């Protein structure tokens, strides 16, 4: 069993609490589904949000979809002037038998533009 990091991001339509929670829940669920993970496989998750998303902590969405005992942390992304707006990112540290090349990084909605090389 190896410890691996899985990346993902989602662009949110606007800074409304419910939209942030819905988009983040979708992102977390897709990362879990595409990588065939359970919460027991997850060591921790770091969430970041661009400075224009301040209506809710993205980690709350993970709590609502079952991450009750997984360590979660939120931070603000660097305010780069030309950055894609309204983006929640995650980096999940997981235990898995999969090779690094087999991991599915998940970029949803407008966030696909962030990593065209690995977006699914």
CATH code at 19?
3.30.1330.40
pLDDT tens-digit series, residues 54-64: 999 999 999 99
pLDDT tens-digit series, residues 15-49: 999 999 999 999 999 999 999 999 999 999 999 99
Structural domain boundaries, residue 46: 2-115
51 domain-assigned: yes
Mapped onto helix, strand or coil, the DSSP state of residue 56 is: coil
84 domain-assigned: yes
Task: Name residues whose C-beta falls within 8 Å of residue 40's C-beta, 6 or more positions apart in sequence.
Answer: none
Q: How many domains does the chain have?
A: 1
Spell 4-41 as b/e; 16+ CB within 10 A means b: bebbbbbbbeebeeebbbebbbbbbebbbeebebeeeb
Residues carrying an active site annotation = 7, 63, 74, 77, 89, 107, 115
Q: Which residues are annotated as a binding site for prephenate?
A: 7, 89, 107
Q: Which residues are annotated as a binding site?
A: 7, 89, 107
24 domain-assigned: yes
User: CB-side exposure of 101: number of CA atoms within 13 Å?
Assistant: 0
120 domain-assigned: no
Residues in the chain: 120
């Amino acid at each position: 069993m190896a410890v691996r990091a899985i990346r993902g991001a989602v662009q949110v339509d606007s800074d409304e609490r419910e939209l942030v929670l819905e988009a983040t829940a979708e992102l977390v669920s897709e990362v879990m589904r595409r990588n065939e993970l359970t919460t027991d496989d997850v060591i921790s998750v770091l969430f970041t949000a661009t400075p224009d998303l301040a209506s809710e902590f993205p980690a709350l969405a993970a709590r609502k979809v079952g991450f009750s005992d997984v360590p979660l942390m939120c931070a603000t992304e660097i305010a780069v002037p030309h950055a894609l707006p309204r983006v929640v990112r995650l980096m999940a540290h997981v235990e898995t038998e999969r090779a690094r090349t087999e991991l599915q990084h998940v970029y949803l909605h407008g966030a696909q533009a962030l990593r065209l090389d690995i977006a699914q």
